[in-house]
Amino acid sequence: MADSLDVDAMIQRFRERAHAVKNRPLPPVAGEERSHFIQQAQVDFQDFAIIGDAVGSVDDGVLVLKIDLRPPETRR
């Protein structure tokens, strides 16, 4: 599987998922369900965006994702 994994394409799919979550319309729900939906969308966006910002490789059969969590102004 590692030989056929396109890491860059996988990361691009996560970027696309983050974009889709960010632009997802709010369903017609109210109250607690609305709050839960919004919270879940925020978590989904964060997770997808983090992986979408990764630099990936397969090293000795192990998928390696490097994700710089430092603020942009402190990155090298």
Q: Is the distance from CB of 21 to CB of 48 less than 8 angstroms?
A: yes
The rounded distance, in Å, linking the Cα atoms of 76 and 73 is 8
Collapsed DSSP state (helix, strand, coil) of residue 56: strand
What's the pTM value of the predicted model, to 2 decimals? Answer: 0.80
Range 17-39 average pLDDT: 91
The rounded distance, in Å, linking the Cα atoms of 58 and 46 is 24
Percent of the chain at pLDDT > 70 equals 96
pLDDT confidence of residue 27: 84
pLDDT confidence of residue 2: 57
Range 10-15 average pLDDT: 97
Q: Is the distance from CB of 57 to CB of 8 less than 8 angstroms?
A: no
Checking if the pLDDT of 1 tops 70, the result is: no
Checking if the pLDDT of 76 tops 80, the result is: no
